[in-house]
Amino acid sequence: MAPSKRKQSSEPGVIPGGFTALSLKFKADSGSCHAVCVKEHRVRAEKNSSRPLDRTLFALNIPPYCSEHVVRELFSQFGPIQSVELREKPGTTDPKESKLSKYFTPAQKEGFRVGYIVFKNSSSVAAAKSHPADMPLVVSTEERPVRTGLQKWVHQYSQSLVQPDKLQEVVDIFMQEYDKKKEEESERLKKEAEQQEEDGEGWVTVTRAKRGTKARPHSEVANQKALQKEDRKRKRKELLNFYTWQHRHTQREHIAELRRKFEEDKQRIAVLRAQRKFRPY
Partner 1 sequence: MKRKTNGSATIDPEKEMEEAASSHSEGEDEGEDDGPTGAKRKVTETVSEDGVLRPLKLTRGELYKPPTAEELNQLKEAESLFHCSLLKMQMEELLKEVALSERRKRLVDSFVLKVTELLHTVPQTADVELSDLSWLSGGVKMPFLLVPKAVKGKFHMAPPAAVSLIGSYPLGTCSKPRVSVDLAVTIPSAVLHPKDALNQRYPRKRALYLAGLAQHLSSSPDIGTMRYSCLHGNRLRPLLLLTPPDKDSSSVTLRLHACPPPGFFKPSRFHPQRNNVRTAWYTGLSTEQPDAAEPPTPHYNSTVLGDLLSRAHLQFLSAIASQCAAFTEGVALLKVWLRQRELDQGSGCFSGFVGSMLVAYLLSTHRVSNSMTAYQLLRNCLHFLASTDLTENGITLAKEPDSTAPSLSEFHSAFQVVFVDPSGHLNLCADMTANTYKQVQHEAALSLQFWDDPTLDGFQALLMTPKPMIRTCDHVFQLCGLVKLQASCKKLNLLSELMDHSGNYVQTALPFILSLLQRGLGERVRLLTHSLSPDPEWLVDSEPPKHKDQPPLSFGLLLNPEIAASVLERGPPADSPKAAEFRQLWGSRSELRRFQDGAITEAVLWGGTSACQKRLVPHEIITHLLQLHADIPESSVRYTGGVLDELIRMGRETCSTGEEESLKVVQSFDDLSRKLWRLEGLPLSITAVQGAHPALRYTQVFPPVPMKLDYSFFGREKVSRALVPQEGKPCPIYITPVKVICHMEGSGKWPHDRLAIRHIKAAFHIRLGELLTKHHRYTCHATPTHLDICKDGLVFRVQVAYHREPQILREDISPEGMLRYRDNEEAQALEMETLHRPYLTSTLHGLQPQHSSFGAVCRLAKRWLGAQLFSGDISEDVADLLVASLFLQPAPFTPPGSPQVGLLRFLHLLSTFDWKNSPLVVNLNGQLTAADYTEIRNDFIASRETLPVMFIATPKDKKLSIWTKSGPSVQMLQRLIVVAAESLRVLEKQLMDPSQTQDVRVALRPPLDAYDVLIHLNPKQVPLLTQAVDPPHATFSRGTMPGSVPSCGGALPVIDFNPVGRYLAELRDAFGDLALFFCDPYGGTVIAVLWKPQAFTPQPFKTSQMSARRVEVTGEEARTVPNVEAILEDFCIMGEGLVKKVEPRSERWVV
Alpha-carbon distance of 141 to 189, in angstroms, equals 59
Residue selected from 47, 160, 203, 234 as contacting partner 1 according to rule CB under 8 A: 160
Q: List the one residue from 50, 61, 82, 195 that touches partner 1 (CB under 8 A).
A: 61
Is residue 15 within the footprint of partner 1 (CB under 8 A)? yes
How near is the Cβ of 161 to partner 1 at its closest, in Å?
5
Of positions 92, 93, 130, 148, contacts partner 1 by CB under 8 A: 148
Burial (CB count <10 Å: 0-12, 13-18, 19+), residue 41: buried
Interface mask (CB under 8 A) for partner 1, residues 24-53, using x and -? --x---xxxxxx-x----------------
What values do phi and psi take at 185, rounded to 5?
Answer: -60, -45
Please report, as residue ranges, which positions from 230 to 269 form the binding site for partner 1 (by CB under 8 A): 252, 255-256, 258-269
Residue partners of 33: CB distance under 8 A and separation at least 6: 23, 24, 25, 136
- The burial class, CB within 10 Å (0-12 / 13-18 / 19+), for 59 is buried
By the rule CB under 8 A, 63 interacts with partner 1: yes
What part of residues 83-142 is at the interface with partner 1 (CB under 8 A)?
89-90, 96, 100, 103-104, 109-112, 114
Per CB under 8 A, contacts with partner 1 among 164-183 are 164, 167-168, 170-171, 174-175, 178, 182
Q: Where are the beta strands (DSSP E) in 125-213?
A: 137-138
